[in-house]
Amino acid sequence: MVYVDSLPKIPAAAIGYLDSDYLHNELTKDSDLKINLSMNCKTFPEAQSYNVIAEITGTEFPEEIIVVGGHFDSWDVGCGAHDDGAGCVQSMEVLQLFKELDIKPKRTIRCVLFINEENGSRGGKDYGKYAETNNENHIAAIESDRGGFTPIGFDVDSDSSVLNKIKTWISVLEKSGIHWIRKGGSGVDIQYIKNTKAKLGYVPDSQRYMDVHHSANDTFDSVHPRELELGAASIAIMAYLISEEGL
C-alpha cells in the first residue's frame, strides 16, 4: 500500500489466508463480531545496504552477461527461508555447480543477491541503473522468488522468437523436473535490467507456498533439500543453455 500526503494515513494490515478463513467463518456466525487488532510496526530511518554479486567470466563472450538471482531480504516475522533464502541459495548454487563440474561457460554467469526487494526494490533499481550506466550487455536474467519447492516451469518475458528458441530446450530441462516454458512475468528485481533479450522467472510448485509466505512459518525446516537442489539444477541448466546456445 502507498500513502499520499493529501489524505489521512489510515492503519492497514494484511492477514494470512488461515486467519482470513477463520474470521470469515466467525462473521457468518455473528455479524456483530468485533475484533481488536494490535499493530506495532514502524518505519525506521533509511540505512545503507548492499547487493551481493559474484560471477564466472565467460570464455568466448565475456561481455554478454546472464544474471541469476534472488533477493537478500525478508519480512521479520520469519527467517525468510523460502522467501527468498531459497532463491539466493539456488542462485549461488548455479555458480557452485559450474565450478564443481568444471564447466567454463561461453558467456558470463553473474549471481546477484538483490537487497530490499520486499520494501522498495532499491537493490533491483540500483542494479538496473548500474548496468545501464556501464553499458553492460545483459542477454538474459533469471530470478528465483517463488519458494524452494519442486520445479515445474519457467515464465519468460521476451519476444516470440526468443521464447520459441527457449521452448526447444524443454527435453533437456525435463531432467530436473521442468514441464513447461511459457510467456509470462519474470521477477521484481530483474525487471529493471533494460534491453535484455529474455527475463525468466523460475516457477516451482506453488500449492504450499501460501502456508509459509510472509509468515512465521517461513523457516529452514520447511525447505526440503531435494526440492531446493532440483530448483538449483533447473536454473543452472537454463543458464548453461543460454550461455552455450545464445538467444
Catalytic residues: 117
Helix (H, G, I), strand (E, B) or coil at 63: strand
Alpha-carbon gap, residue 74 to 76, rounded angstroms: 6
Phi, psi of 153 (to 5 degrees): -175, -175
Please give the C-alpha separations between residue 235 and each of 49, 72, 135, in angstroms, as whole numbers.
26, 18, 25
C-alpha cell at 246: 545464445
Alpha-carbon gap, residue 214 to 6, rounded angstroms: 30
Alpha-carbon gap, residue 123 to 116, rounded angstroms: 6
Question: What is the Cα gyration radius of the chain?
Answer: 20
8 A C-beta contact, residue 234 and residue 166: no
| Percentages (nearest 5) of helix, strand, coil residues in the chain | 35, 20, 45
